Amino acid sequence: MFFWLAEHFRGEFGPLNVFRYVTFRTLIAFVTAFVITMALYPWFIRTLRAKQIGQTVRTDGPQSHFVKSGTPTMGGSLLIMAVVASSLMWMDPSNPFVWMTLAVMVGYGIVGFVDDFRKYRDRNSKGVSGKTKLFWQFSIAGIIMVLFFSWIQPGLMDSYSLRLYIPFLRIDQYYIELPAWLYATLACFVLAGTSNGVNLTDGLDGLAIGPVITSAATFLVLCYLTNLRIGGFDVSAYLLIPKVPGVQELTIVTAAIIGAGIGFLWYNTFPAQVFMGDVGALGLGGALGCLAVFTKNELLSLIIFGIFVLESVSVITQTVSYKLTGKRIFRMAPLHHHYELKGWPEPKIIVRFWIVALLLSVVAFANLKLR
């Protein structure tokens, strides 16, 4: 909105020019999302509690989780609204990448909302079946990929969109060229997989939102460096970052996710006053998946999203092992429950997972130079 005002009225009112700079709008998007969440969550939590929209705890989960029963859930709906509102205020409305990312976040959020609502209505932890959620996740991702190939700038198709770049190798020499159908399929798996990875991680107070914030911060830097020039020096070319026209505008969305995420964490930290629910986990995960695809960091995202990957792999290996051998690899999956049953205090698990997420972001940044 403000970018549009700057474009149309900068001749009449010079100070509006500041809204044309992506760095300024990124900073203000962070502040806007943070203020919205900090200001509205106390009222939102009271409303959820008044309507008795509380967490339903699994009967087969750790016994320590029964104290969480009844804690207000679906708090991620306000988080997503804050991200969307802040992004719409400060984005360039002509940018397709921002619209597609917001569309996935809202679409996946709606899937999660339906799941949360059914749990609340039926008073159990089942909700929507896994197959139904996957169907809608892949359907939404498929629609976005159709838009990706039809809406993006024509020159992008030939040079970047069908390539996979391998971390720690030069992008101008080592890459995997894929046919359009295979790349689109892979991208759908990235979106759905990241979304479900965040959802699996969201099992302890503040556990998921920490890696979401570090991942968004990592992509904020990667988006900003795309097509960055300082004077006559091409920073993105020097660092061998894929040049994707328009992706720099995604710093607005990443900043909004960070701001809203920190505001949410204020109330979600141990002991949590509110949980994000599937509406928040699926929506945020979908947005992160879009960042990985649109910045051409599909493979690097395996490092950036390392916590979500580990949690997902722990569930898959546990399921496969039990079906094939009748034995469990972990005491319980996802991975954070394994450490709970080993006797680790919940805050220790959370902080250590945050530390790992931060270290993985550092490894991802090392990729910019160690090629």
pLDDT digits (tens, 9 = 90+) for 282-314: 999 999 999 999 999 999 999 999 999 999 999
Q: Which one is predicted more confidently, 124 or 105?
A: 105
Closest to 221 (Cα-Cα) out of 26, 28, 353, 24: 26
Which residues partner with 229 through β-bridges?
Answer: 234
Q: With 70 as the cut, is the pLDDT of residue 147 above it? A: yes
3-state secondary structure of 255: helix
Residue 253 is encoded by which pair of tokens? 């969305």
Q: pLDDT band at residue 65, thresholds of 50, 70 and 90?
A: low
Q: With 60 as the cut, is the pLDDT of residue 66 above it? A: no
Q: Which one is predicted more confidently, 310 or 59?
A: 310
CB 251 within 8 A of CB 220: yes
Q: With 90 as the cut, is the pLDDT of residue 234 above it? A: no
Q: Which one is predicted more confidently, 236 or 158?
A: 236
Q: Which one is predicted more confidently, 82 or 156?
A: 82
Q: How far separated are the first and last CA of the chain, in Å rounded?
A: 40
Neighbours of 53 (CB within 10 A): 18
Q: How much helix, strand and coil, in percent to the nearest 5, is found in the chain?
A: 70, 5, 30
Neighbours of 121 (CB within 10 A): 9
Closest to 276 (Cα-Cα) out of 34, 129, 79: 79
Q: With 60 as the cut, is the pLDDT of residue 159 above it? A: no
For residue 347, count CB atoms less than 10 angstroms from its CB and return exposed for 0-12, middle for 13-18, buried for 19 or more: middle
Lowest model confidence (mean pLDDT) among 76-85, 158-167, 339-348:
158-167
pLDDT digits (tens, 9 = 90+) for 192-208: 999 999 999 999 999 99
Q: Where are the alpha helices (DSSP H) in the chain?
A: 2-9, 22-50, 76-90, 96-122, 130-151, 154-159, 180-201, 209-225, 235-238, 251-268, 277-294, 301-304, 306-325, 335-341, 346-366
The pLDDT value given to residue 155: 56
Domain borders along the chain are: 1-53+64-369
Residue corresponding to tokens 């993985």: 360
Sequence-distant (≥ 6) Cβ neighbours of residue 78 within 8 angstroms: 37, 40, 41, 44, 264
Q: Which one is predicted more confidently, 64 or 17?
A: 17
Lowest model confidence (mean pLDDT) among 92-96, 247-251, 252-256:
92-96
Average pLDDT, the chain: 90
The Cα–Cα gap between 140 and 316 comes to 23
pLDDT digits (tens, 9 = 90+) for 172-194: 888 998 988 899 999 999 999 99
Which residues partner with 164 through β-bridges?
Answer: 176
The Cα–Cα gap between 275 and 189 comes to 26
Lowest model confidence (mean pLDDT) among 28-37, 60-69, 251-260, 262-271:
60-69
The Cα–Cα gap between 263 and 78 comes to 11
| Residue 271: DSSP 8-state | S
Closest to 361 (Cα-Cα) out of 289, 295, 317, 306: 306
Closest to 252 (Cα-Cα) out of 4, 105, 96, 83: 83
DSSP assignment of 104-164, as one string? HHHHHHHHHHHHHHHHHHHTSS--S-HHHHHHHHHHHHHHHHHHHHHHS-HHHHHHTTTEE
User: In the chain, pLDDT over 90 holds for what percent of residues?
Assistant: 69
Closest to 169 (Cα-Cα) out of 107, 242, 219: 242
The pLDDT value given to residue 14: 57
